[in-house]
Amino acid sequence: MNTFAEIYQKIEEYSTIILHRHTSPDPDALGSQAGLARSLKLEFPDKRILCAGDNDEGDLAWINKMDDVKEEDYHGALVITTDTGNTARIANKLYDHGKVLIKIDHHPNVEPYGDLNYVEEDAPAASQIVAEFIMERNLPLTAEVAYPLYAGLVGDTGRFMYSETNVHTFLVAAKLTSTGIDINEIARNISDVTFEQAKLQAETLDSMKVDPSGAAYAVLTQKMLDKVGVDAEQAACTVSTPGRIKDIIAWNVFVEKPDGTFRVHYRSKGPVINDLAAQHDGGGHALASGANAKDLAEVKQVFAELVEVTKKYQEKHE
């Protein structure tokens, strides 16, 4: 693994820097990307610093919007990815058109891509790592910079409830809030849903099937999304909904995309599920991952695998 000093040295060398994050972004993906970009813009006003993605920010556009990045922008450029464990999940496939690639991440380093990489698997969020980088290198940390980083930190720690949250996380959060950001506004933006999304959350619970093992799943078809007026990106609001049910230990939410394939969301209260996601063109954390399924047959297979993992977890902890 490289050091912050080595990464900073590369940043100094390039006049164009393009930052990427993962597809179907969550607050941490957008927050780590935006926070780093904004700090670098303040530190290096003569550099060209761009944020690239697939225009899939959806309801999270309040954190950051992407720049209009063209293929010619990558010629001789430095590319940095944040919060993206493997290349298959990098948003905007032009990421490999630059001259040098740097990976900054906190997922299990199953694919150590990039010319330089900094992966801190114990960190609860990529936004925390970016904040640490900014503070160690004495880069600008204004409210504009801290706002998306705090949003990413709140998002990936589940409001500081997940097990990876530690004392250092709160120290970083304190430093970010000291810039004067509106933490109440950020909390509302993350938790608020539209009336249509609320109806979809209710339908998710109504359609949920629960196995005796404690594994559960719901399939949200395009027809269901159209009925309530929610698109596939907005449907992400349903992912945490089953976690409030006491008897559910691990679950899948399958969201049908316009092309008929399915976005697979994995969540867990104990069973490790990121290895399962890796088998279906995905990846992520031990208890929160994403993947893809090409059809209902693969949907059935994904859930069968989740049931087996949950059964083993239950047997081990009886």
Dihedral, CA of residue 307, residue 207, residue 279 and residue 163, to nearest 10: -70
Q: Which of 243, 283, 238, 276 is nearest to 256 (CA)?
A: 238
For the chain, percent of residues with pLDDT exceeding 90: 84
- In this prediction, residue 249 carries a pLDDT of 96
The domains located in the chain, with CATH, are 4-190 (3.90.1640.10), 195-317 (3.10.310.30)
- In this prediction, residue 110 carries a pLDDT of 85
> Contact at 8 Å (CB) between 19 and 52?
yes
Distance from C-alpha of 108 to C-alpha of 85, rounded to nearest angstrom: 7
Question: What is the enclosing helix (H) or strand (E) of 37?
Answer: helix 27-43
For the chain, percent of residues with pLDDT exceeding 70: 100
- In this prediction, residue 24 carries a pLDDT of 85
Mean residue pLDDT across the chain: 95
Instruction: Burial-class residue 75 by CB neighbours within 10 Å (0-12, 13-18, 19+).
Output: exposed
Residue 148 pLDDT greater than 80, yes or no: yes
Residues 75-97 pLDDT 10s: 999 999 999 998 988 999 999 99
Question: What is the enclosing helix (H) or strand (E) of 31?
Answer: helix 27-43
> Between these two residues, 293 and 192, which has the higher pLDDT value?
293
The pTM score is 0.86
Q: Which two tokens stand for residue 11?
A: 């940043």
Residue 58 pLDDT greater than 90, yes or no: no
Distance from C-alpha of 17 to C-alpha of 139, rounded to nearest angstrom: 16
- In this prediction, residue 162 carries a pLDDT of 79
Q: Is 121 helix (H, G, I), strand (E, B) or coil?
A: coil
